[in-house]
Amino acid sequence: MNQKIIFNKPPFLGVEVDYISKAIANGKLSGDGEYTAQCNRLLEEKVGCTKALLTTSCTHALEMAALLCNVNEGDEVIMPSYTFVSTANAFVLRGAKIVFVDIRPDTMNIDEKLIEEAITKRTKAIVPVHYAGVACEMDTINHLAKEYRLFVIEDAAQAIDSTYKGRQCGALGDFGCFSFHETKNISCGEGGALTIINNKYSERAEILREKGTNRSKYFRGEIDKYTWVDQGSSYLPSELNAAYLLAQLELSDRILKDRVESWKFYDNELSSLIDLELIKTPYLPPECEHNGHMYYIKTRDLEERTKLIAYLREKEIYAVFHYVPLHSSEAGLRYSTFIGEDRYTTKESERLLRLPLYYGMSTDEKMRIVEAIKSFYKRK
């Protein structure tokens, strides 16, 4: 009997255990120790931002960005409905109204041509989501933001090591928000990071992240005591998380290469089904370099996808669908509005199926998946 192929395995390279042991030996396990500082510096170099701050999640990075942009009750924030709930919740918590616009069917990213229609005098920010590690069309988005004096907050949860016109995602707007959840390319189980482009926001970001205190300045010796100076929360991960993460950041090229190779394997082996127009596969704009985060196929419709998922499960292969559009959810009906026509968001979301893809997948595992998909369509 074939061994089960699960959807995801958290990346593990071996060095993580050594770093965690050293963090324990150092005797400091709370946030902002040696390993946190090294991760921040590495991210600043990798992304090309002024400041990077580890957080406990991408959710918290988004919440910090909302605070730094002074998003308040009555403000509006534009984003795609095809995204994870945290993208919207970070701004709902500030009292903002979420304004959804349709996505592009080719990349599943926000349709940059529809954003301007959704802008009002209450609009505060645009939140592009780089789905599957493929960057949004950022030139158009940044042009609109400049014209209407809006913030651009990148939801780069899936986009570490992805680029747009040679520049790293997370450094293409005002703020970038990354995830290091166990399903991401680089992981520490639960974790994230906020990247900041304009240094004028760096000091306040440190304060927000340290429960609203100027504790970071105190530990740098810039003040002789620290105190409560602003609103904030506890957004710091522990040194154990940072130690695990540092090992993966240092070896991120190895993870990137492995995942991109798996992505290309799927794309090559499924080409016959693509040529027969039985499925569709990810589109890569020429100005974008992706990070192999996700390989998905699109079936004809929801019914076919449901049958394919069941067929793969019978063969012990665990493929999954992704987001249910937020505008159709219970909370979405309360906190958001959809501007324009939903031509693609719902329709394309119901067709999309994510294939297992993780660091260290064997060729045999990938071939089993490919052959099972081909077998399904051969039966049809």
Q: Where are the domains of the chain?
A: 15-250, 252-379
Give the mean model confidence (pLDDT) for residues 10-24.
Answer: 96
Return the CATH fold of 15-250.
Aspartate Aminotransferase; domain 2 (3.40.640)
Contact yes or no for 350/306 (Cβ under 8 A): no
DSSP state of 77: E
Average per-residue pLDDT for the chain: 96
Give the mean model confidence (pLDDT) for residues 206-234.
Answer: 91
Task: Tell me what pLDDT residue 98 has.
Answer: 98
Residue 255 reports pLDDT greater than 90? yes
Q: Which residues does residue 336 pair with via DSSP β-bridges, in sequence order?
A: 98
Task: Tell me what pLDDT residue 219 has.
Answer: 82
Spatial separation of the C-alpha atoms in residues 120 and 76, rounded to whole Å: 8
In this prediction the pTM is 0.96
**Backbone phi, then psi, for 103, in 5-degree steps?**
-105, 165
Residue 224 reports pLDDT greater than 90? no
Q: Which residues does residue 257 pair with via DSSP β-bridges, in sequence order?
A: none
pLDDT band at 1 (very low <50, low <70, confident <90, very high): low
Give the mean model confidence (pLDDT) for residues 61-79.
Answer: 98
pLDDT tens-digit readout, 176-194? 999 999 999 999 999 999 9
Task: Tell me what pLDDT residue 2 has.
Answer: 75
Tokens 């988004």 correspond to 62
pLDDT band at 218 (very low <50, low <70, confident <90, very high): confident
Give the mean model confidence (pLDDT) for residues 56-73.
Answer: 98
Give the mean model confidence (pLDDT) for residues 330-356.
Answer: 97
Residue 334 reports pLDDT greater than 80? yes
Spatial separation of the C-alpha atoms in residues 66 and 63, rounded to whole Å: 5
CA torsion sign for 328, 334, 339, 340 is positive
Give the mean model confidence (pLDDT) for residues 141-166.
Answer: 98
Would residue 360 be called left, alpha or beta, if left means φ above 0 and alpha means ψ between -120 and 50 degrees? left
Contact yes or no for 368/361 (Cβ under 8 A): no
7 vs 216, which has greater pLDDT? 7
Superfamily of domain 252-379: Aspartate Aminotransferase, domain 1 (3.90.1150.10)
